[in-house]
Amino acid sequence: MRRGLNMDYKPALLALEDGSLYSCRSFTGHGQAEGEIVFNTGMTGYQEILTDPSYSGQMVVMTYPLIGNYGVSDQDMESGRIQPQAILVREYTGHPSNFRASSSLAEFLAPQGIMGVCELDTRAVTLRIREAGAMRAKLSTLETNGRILVEQARSLPSMTGLNLSAAASTEQPYRWANGETAEARMPPLNIDVWQFRGVKPSVAVLDFGVKHNILRMLEHTGFEVIILPVSTDADAILSLCPDGLLLSNGPGDPEPVVEAILTIRALLGSIPMFGICLGHQLLALALGAKTYKMKFGHRGSNQPVLDVRTGRVEITSQNHGFAVDEESLRRTGAEITHINLNDRTIEGFRHDRYPILSVQYHPEAAPGPRDAAHLFSEFYKLLK
């Protein structure tokens, strides 16, 4: 085991709500964490995973056995802070070898109070999640009684029925420019008096927990971008006169996000829309379709997706625990455009009446392959 300098690894215990117990060791000192436990199959990209708001309220098990070897870089943040409650790995490397690294993974986690544990049998935990589904879990260095930890795990709220998007969204509108948020460089925008400049095609982003790389990709494609709080209503969005609206990724169950569903429904036909991940699910709900919780979801950067129109297969980055029900979606007049080749779940749709582009996966990647990056250009064409 390769460990960081001056690190005192603390014995820890992981308890799942089904009664399963797993020993491990904390490389971030004493602490406790709780939430829904899920697994990610990516071989790289742990920093992007840790800063993805879609992981809010969860603990992430990395199936790749070696984590931490390239450290953490200031350039690879997908939000302003760490989002999951903990990261659980088989082997942790505390000596990063990367000229871009600004710190080790432990040095990144500990100041934010996020637990990192290693020497965990991640294969066994992943197999348990695959068999029983994503479960509530408790992780602790402070409590050694497994029975107590199991009871604490069982007392946690279920992710089903929770509206987590409000906490993940921005509180104030802001611009995205020159590859970074303009939030820190200027006062929050007053959207009652602000207008797009009209130099470039414009996109308003309804923020449910947006990843920074979505914003980077929009700017790279040629859009002027403004990010709006989840509570922004249809009239306020239309008053900005944007050329398009992007519905972002975000955490949790889509069905409780009722306010946003009503906003999207009110905008159908008025403005071209691009839904990504949670935004895709909310768009389907606005059309009248249904969603459901998956057994253990899709989380990783190696999910094969078939474009049924072209026969092209793309390897995609994904992070979601809910999906759109196929039969209910077909009844809305939507055309299913993409399916997952592992389990045949819905991965994308268009509509015969509305200018809509919607995908369940992450075309911006970060981490992951860029096979689907062309969808941002397709959105640009849809606006034209």
Question: Other C-beta atoms within 10 Å of 253: how many?
Answer: 21
Confidence of residue 177 (pLDDT cuts 50, 70, 90): confident
**Among the options 320, 338, 351, 362, which is catalytic?**
362
Q: What percent of the chain has pLDDT over 90?
A: 90
119 annotated active-site: no
Question: What Å distances lie between residue 29 and 26, 105, 113, CA to CA?
Answer: 6, 13, 10
Which entry of 118, 277, 338, 351 is annotated as an active-site residue? 277
- Nearest 5°: phi and psi at 176? -115, 125
Mean pLDDT, the chain, rounded, equals 93
Catalytic residue among 34, 119, 314, 364: 364
Lowest mean pLDDT among 161-165, 244-248, 298-302, 336-340: 161-165
Asked if residue 47 has pLDDT above 90, the reply is: yes
- How far apart CA 384 and CA 381 sit, in angstroms, is 5
What six digits make up the tokens of 278? Answer: 């949670």
Q: Indicate yes or no: pTM above 0.85.
A: yes
Has residue 193 got a pLDDT over 60? Answer: yes
- Nearest-angstrom CA–CA distance, 248 and 246: 6
Domains assigned to the chain: 10-154 (3.50.30.20), 165-383 (3.40.50.880)
Quickly state the pLDDT bin for 192 (edges 50, 70, 90). low
Residue 260: how many CB atoms within 10 A of its CB? Answer: 28
Q: What is the reported pLDDT for 186?
A: 44
Give me the amino acid identity at 201. Answer: P
Q: Is 80 exceeded by the pLDDT of residue 3?
A: no
Q: Give catalytic status of residue 107 as yes or no.
A: no
Cα–Cα distance, 48 to 45 (Å, whole number): 5
Is 364 assigned a catalytic role?
yes
CA–CA gap between residue 204 and residue 194 (Å, rounded): 12
Give tens-digit pLDDT for 216-247: 999 999 999 999 999 999 999 999 999 999 99
